[in-house]
Structure 1
Amino acid sequence: MRALLWFPLLSLLALTLPHLSTTSPTSPTSSSSQRPVIGILSQEVSRYDPTPDAESYIAASYVKFVESAGARVVPVMINQTEEEYKALFYSLNGILLPGGGVSIYSSGYARASKIFYDLAIEANQKGDFFPIWGTCLGFEQLAYLTAQKPVLVNTNTTSVTLPLNFTNEAKGSRMFQDFPDELMRALETEALTENSHMWSVSLETYNSNDDLKTFYKVLSTNTDGRTEFISTWEAYDYPIYGVQWHPEKNPFEWTRAYYAHSSNAVKVTFYFANFFVNEARKSVHSFESEEAVRKLLIYRHSQTYAGDQRPFEQIYYF
């Protein structure tokens, strides 16, 4: 219990510990491992956005999620060329595909996701470590990219916070290996995971789809009372991770009464953030110079308050 009470201090200490890289079995050889830069994919604005001249956006809570564990963020814009995405891929240490409401089949978000997914598969197969994290829409995007066909079913899960139903695979997973037992029990018994989705990957669909079943290890499921769906998974052979729910909302979003803000809810967020950023630390990708990365960092953009129109408190518009 003391470890949980002192988590903010311990998380900072954890970030200084050595982590394995793909080029060395004992320690990282690149300074990028201690200065990770993670891309967060933007997506098309909606009719509800208060900035009509913007083309795309990123909710600030995703940026804060990554920054809370010691990484910097570069926004990945939609509608860039494949060559531009490829150059960015070899500079970033990982990418986060955030939640949202655009098409996973035909949007700029979908196109960019596929390019980064394909590059990551190819790179990881060659021993070039590159992690991907998908949240909600990002989870659904990963499912489509892996199955190479639509696999989602409709569920009644647009505004509910739930405990997780862990599978037997969770305890030995990479994602949960550093979670304290107390926090795992809290995840099982307390409503700590916020769901804002109307589409899911049902367990039935997963079990009948060889592409999904051989690629992803299911770590938790949930149900809307009618359909059991996958809520957390990780790839067997790649550093690719997905959650159908929203860990970033617990500490950073306040527009909905059902968002979880308890001490355990916040700890869950930071353990996940710490895990993903530590995965990014294993990547030896880097920008050609500090000046080059500084030109692209999200620090150069301003946040806009959007809590009156959107479920996000703050948004970056591009």
Structure 2
Amino acid sequence: MLRIIITSLFISSVICANNKPTIGILTNPSDMKDYDKSLYSYFPSSYVKWIEQAGARVIPIHWDSSYDEITVILSQINGVLFTGGDADLYLNNTQPGFTFNKFTDTASFIFQKVIQFNKAGKFYPLLGICQGFQLINYIASSYYEVLTRMTDDLGRQRLLEIVPEEDSYVLNSIDKSTLEYLKNVDGPYYSHNWGVVQQTYEKSYSLGAFFKITGYGRDGVNLKYIAICEGREVPIYGYQFHPEKHPFEWITKATHDVQHITYSQELAMAFIAMARKNDNFISDEELSQYIIYNYKQVNRMHVPNTSFSQVYLFDRNRNETRTDQQQLGIQWTIKYFRKYK
């Protein structure tokens, strides 16, 4: 269904393509030891570069902003990205000083708004990478504990196993020779201790109702996990792997050969191609207030065992209150997915 929607919209791209797409990237609570999460949030600079090389601009969406602030931003941008990171996702996990998991609650609010936009006829993509992939699965599951422990997949490239009977916008975006390379020679780069397995889809009906599985990977003990999931009815999708690291991270084990650079660029272009179908507009004046260039980049290459050469750092100067959760909270999500049962 996702492929059909996207294909039909792509046919009219010459007429209605948005040539100034803007992507909102959700910030993460800091997991860096030298930047306390009570004071800072961040995301790696590689995601910004990955989006920009495909022809889009980036605005940060602060995870501790109010829903009103986020709604204003969502109404002006053309797509959303949830990045990798190391945040607590489960709503019953509390962070220091918080009475609920505001990060996941904010992501859930964005997820619900994206569903609303698409159901109202506005094509609106949301992509989750690594932690972001896990996050959209957690939300779509109606808050089932979706994560399974992985073995030896922290900084590894694994062959990509595709699901041939499922039509896949993601896999169709990669040229055939490159896809064969990822399947048979040297696959995508993973950096995760946790993943989502197919058995979880079987236990949580909401997941299978919302997503189809189009790709798998295997960890160091041959445990099969989901590598790619794609929304059946709305353009919400995710990868457990990291396409952005091949061209833009030089301190990891991600290879920089032509095949991996090619697939990375093709997936970025595919995401932005979807964002171009969205006709939201932001003025140059407003863009100058929100755009990523207003924020500080920090060199991380000197930090031992880091995965990021450079990050964008954001001061925590916002307030999070329980009233935000009460505005939307878990019940809306559960109510939405119950209709499939």
Normalising by the residue count of structure 2, what TM-score does the alignment of the two structures yield? 0.81
How far, CA to CA, are the matches of 2:179 and 2:37 in structure 1? 43
Which sections of structure 2, spanning at least 5 residues, go unmatched?
1-6, 92-100, 315-341
* Residue 337 of structure 2: aligned partner: none
Give the Å deviation of 1:146: 0.3
Displacement, 1:204?
A: 1.7
Letter in 2 for 1:125: K
Equivalent residue of 2:180, what SS?
helix
In structure 2, the residue matched to 1:167 is 163
In structure 2, C-alpha distance between the alignment counterparts of 1:178 and 1:296, rounded to whole Å: 30
Q: Aligned-residue CA RMSD in angstroms?
A: 2.1
SS of match in other structure, 1:133: strand
Q: What corresponds to 1:57 in structure 2?
A: 42
List aligned pairs for 1:127-142, cutoff 5 A.
127-142=121-136
Shift of 1:191: 2.2
2:75 to 90, 93, 96: 90
Query: Identity of paired residues, percent?
Result: 28
**Residue 97 of structure 1, CA deviation:** 0.1
Higher deviation after alignment, 137-146 or 119-128: 119-128
1:182 aligns with 2:159: no
Unmatched segments (≥5 aa) in structure 1? 1-18
Structure 1 residues 48 and 190: CA distance shift in structure 2, 3 A: farther
Name the CA distance, whole Å, in 2 between partners of 1:20 and 1:290. 30
Matched length? 294
Shift of 1:158: 1.9
- The answer (yes or no) to whether the contact 1:169–1:218 under 8 Å persists in 2 is no
Secondary structure at the counterpart of residue 175 of structure 1: helix
The answer to whether the 8 Å contact 1:51/1:317 transfers is no
Q: Which residue of 2 aligns with 1:74?
A: 59
Q: How does 1:151-166 map to 2 (within 5 A)?
A: 151-156=146-151, 157-166=153-162
| Paired residue secondary structure (1:75) | strand
- Residue number in structure 1 paired with 2:212: 217
Question: How do 1:193-232 and structure 2 match up within 5 A?
Answer: 193-224=188-219, 225-232=221-228
Task: Provide, for residues 83-137 of structure 1, a one-character-per-residue CA deviation record: whole Å limited to 9, x for no partner.
Answer: 1111111111000000000011244431221111000111111111110000000
Give the TM-score normalised by structure 1. 0.87
- CA separation of 1:153 and 1:242: change in aligned 2, threshold 3 A: same
1:80 Cα offset (Å): 0.8
- Matched residue, 1:8: none
* 250 and 49 in structure 1: CA distance in 2 versus 1, 3 angstrom threshold: farther
The separation in 1 between residues aligned to 2:88 and 2:14, in whole angstroms, is: 38
Question: Which of 101, 104, 115 in structure 1 is aligned with 2:109?
Answer: 115
User: How far off is 1:46 after superposition?
Assistant: 2.0
Supply the AA of the counterpart residue of 2:273: N
Structure-2 change in CA distance of 1:37 and 1:161 (3 Å): same
Offset at 1:226? Answer: 4.2
